[in-house]
Structure formats: C-alpha cells, structure tokens
Amino acid sequence: MSEGLITPIVSTSMARVTVECLACGADRSVEDPGRGRLEPGECIRCGYVGWARRGELTETLRRALRDRTAESRRLRPIEPLP
Ligand SMILES: [Zn+2]
C-alpha cells in the first residue's frame, strides 16, 4: 500500500455536510459554503426544498415543523449558523 503518495480529492477546503429533508426525512450530502446558505435544491424523493443540517433537527423541532408545514406551505431556506 502506498497511500501516502496519493492526496485524496476530498481533502479540500470545501467540506460537505449532510442535510435532512424537512418533509420526508431523506438524507442528502451537499457542499458546506461555510457562512452562506446551503442550497441542496429540491428533494429527489418528495420535491420539497426545506432542509436542516443533520443533528440540528430534534424530535421536538421535527414535530413543530411538521405542524407548521401542514398549516402553511411556506418554503423555509436553511439559515446559516449564528
Ligand atoms: Zn423529501
């Protein structure tokens, strides 16, 4: 094995983050812009465009979002971390 000779392409400054669809819970890996907004686009499963970073979505928040989603079909972009 000569792994030391090869530099993995993934070791760039652009990190990837896993996000979760707020509607159906599907996972998606997107590039993390750092300070900017994540733009995963539409969910390939349900077409929804609301996402949350994996791990930030608690069961409580999940429920609240589900209720809100049922009330008003407003699209919520992912907000950057404070
Ligand atoms: Zn979805």
CA–centroid distance, 28 to ligand 1, in Å, is 10
Q: Is residue 27 helix, strand or coil? A: strand
Predicted TM-score (pTM) of the model is 0.52
Q: What is the whole-number distance in angstroms between the Cα of residue 42 and the centre of ligand 1?
A: 8
In the chain the domains, ranked by start, together with CATH numbers, are 15-71 (2.20.28)
Cα 67 to Cα 16: distance, rounded to the nearest angstrom:
29
- Give the CA distances from residue 4 to residues 10, 14, 77, in Å, rounded to whole numbers and listed in that order: 15, 21, 41
Query: Tell me: the pLDDT tens digits for 35-78?
Result: 777 888 999 999 999 998 887 777 777 777 777 765 555 666 77
pLDDT digit string, tens, across residues 44-56: 999 999 998 887 7
